Structure 1
């Protein structure tokens, strides 16, 4: 198997796994949150769709196993390996007793790195263990690679910490420049293996900085939507992007770096829009864009205009302007400058 084929199989599994885990909470999270005062059951529902996000490492492991045609034992072993090395599982103490807590979706960079190592190891073990594979595959893969991944997690997480420190510096700049830089940064981060939510909370983005980050994520979404439609992807792919699954395009982003050009240009437009309309938010809302309407709902609460004017501003800033700019940028780069063709947005799984 070539390196390219190996990478495509693995990254496609990662992209789809992220979508599967994120979609329930992206669509229903805010609905359940709003319905919590109605009945306590909705708090349980909210926790359940949140738990689905924390299952992303296991989902990715299973999908990688399917891509490489692993057997059931190998798939289960890979899923368990990614779970314990992802950072999703946190060890705490409750009433003096050891317990585990699920938190977030894990460090995607570490998940990808560990999945590469574990997949290669499983391929090397195939056909060598005979009837003992049921015992030895989990024992070797889960313990060796899983523990190794857990041990290197603090060091791999430094990548996100470094990016967070850079983002922190942006917040000290002149407001318009800050808005543009944050919008562009989060537009790129959302399509990368790095978590926008984790960085936004770690840095404590609030006010205009949070709003600019949200608009930046929205610009990436609109850019990918236009590219996906022009590339004639299946409807499900385009809908998934609109619902907030920009990481579906991680394989394309890595294979075709030219994708960053329209993303950056539309991110600049988004930063100007956020500054002009004074879009604001909180650290908890900064990494979502309009996924689950988290960004728009928080922006609405910070506005002082009449309700209809607030809704109009949100519609114009989060959807209208950046979608029009995405179409114009796409036309200029593909038809006028001929910088790339729409095949860079083709989703192949």
Structure 2
């Protein structure tokens, strides 16, 4: 019998983060790149409505994808990884039961997704070799349905993390506009590289106007820093994925190298000031997107900001700022090496 490999809590954390980061990219990138394009093309052919629906629906598979990829991180068998994917989806909060049936409502709470993926792996490894010929019958029940049920029970409590953060950010809206813009920009620049959903936060607190604009600018500030740093150490496809909306794939880097927040926060402060001076506006549903799908910039233009000023706020200030900040912190002050931006893909 093969020797069972032992994992520490740190091993679990790193592998769950790595699987989660890749799962989020796979689940969300199609809609991030093509969703807006297909929706705009709907008047020119019904096929584009179908395509828009497909890439949008693909997002709902994210928790299951995360579970499968986390299982692969632990070198589990294909069947075991798929069952872990099922357990993760069932406990994610990505669906609700209604009188009409089950309704998909999003990608779930990512914190709970990670917890259930880790727990499902732990239980699967604990049961390894103990179920005998009944493995095919009992594993889906004990891990799939069992851990999935635990996820639904923990979901309301885990979701308190998101609501608490939302309440804190909402309190910023009571401050002087410049301070508000800077603090919200910084908050969203950090959240976009964490397991917390910036889109969920924006909608939950109903942030709008300058606050929503600053939030979207903060997401963009983080994107710019990750793109500038990534281009030095990652393949072009990885850097492009980040630019197109896959910032959360860098969550493992945040845990391993917390100093990655130094350039992110600095750029968010600079970009937040820019959002205030230009008076970038937004809505709750656009606050967490940044430049993904050009959602933030388009909304700002529709709310009265000139195209030129939107380009300055969303592209010039964040990306030029990120470049100068990278030169300062990497070359001059030597606070970090570009290795902190290295993305480690899922291992088979």
Contact 2:90 2:145 in 1 (8 A): no
Contact 1:285 1:294 in 2 (8 A): yes
In 2, distance between residues paired with 1:4 and 1:34? 45
Cross-structure match for 1:162: 164
Cross-structure match for 1:307: none
Please tell me whether residue 36 in structure 1 is matched to residue 42 in structure 2. yes
Offset from partner CA, 1:197-232 (integer Å, 9 cap, x none): 0010011111111110001000000011111123x2
* Distance apart, 1:259 and its partner CA: 0.9
In 1, distance between residues paired with 2:307 and 2:325? 26
Contact 1:212 1:274 in 2 (8 A): yes
In 1, distance between residues paired with 2:44 and 2:161? 42
Q: 1:203 aligns with which of 194, 202, 205?
A: 205
Please tell me whether residue 131 in structure 1 is matched to residue 137 in structure 2. no
TM-score, normalised with respect to structure 1: 0.94
In 1, distance between residues paired with 2:200 and 2:115? 19
TM-score, normalised with respect to structure 2: 0.94
Paired residues for 1:75-94 under 5 Å: 75-94=81-100
> 1:267/1:60 Cα in 2 relative to 1: closer, same or farther (>3 Å)?
same
Cross-structure match for 2:242: 241
Offset from partner CA, 1:271-319 (integer Å, 9 cap, x none): 1111111111111111100001111111110125xxxxx2222222111
Cross-structure match for 1:186: 188
Q: Which runs of 5+ in 2 are unaligned?
A: 1-6
Please tell me whether residue 343 in structure 1 is matched to residue 332 in structure 2. no
Please tell me whether residue 325 in structure 1 is matched to residue 321 in structure 2. yes
Q: 2:74 aligns with which of 64, 68, 74?
A: 68
* Distance apart, 1:40 and its partner CA: 4.3
Offset from partner CA, 1:15-53 (integer Å, 9 cap, x none): 010001111110111112223344444333322222111
Cross-structure match for 2:289: 288
Contact 1:73 1:138 in 2 (8 A): no
In 2, distance between residues paired with 1:88 and 1:7? 22
Q: 1:15 aligns with which of 3, 21, 40?
A: 21
In 2, distance between residues paired with 1:263 and 1:159? 22
Please tell me whether residue 52 in structure 1 is matched to residue 54 in structure 2. no
In 1, distance between residues paired with 2:46 and 2:172? 41
Q: Which runs of 5+ in 1 are unaligned?
A: 305-309
In 2, distance between residues paired with 1:178 and 1:28? 33
Cross-structure match for 1:144: 146
Contact 2:12 2:118 in 1 (8 A): no
Offset from partner CA, 1:165-209 (integer Å, 9 cap, x none): 011111111111111011000000000000000010011111111
Cross-structure match for 1:220: 222
In 2, distance between residues paired with 1:337 and 1:2? 35
Q: 2:10 aligns with which of 4, 7, 10?
A: 4
Paired residues for 1:257-276 under 5 Å: 257-276=258-277
In 1, distance between residues paired with 2:114 and 2:198? 17
In 2, distance between residues paired with 1:43 and 1:208? 33
Contact 1:73 1:137 in 2 (8 A): no
Cross-structure match for 1:252: 253
Contact 2:95 2:106 in 1 (8 A): no
The more displaced of 38-47 and 243-252 is: 38-47
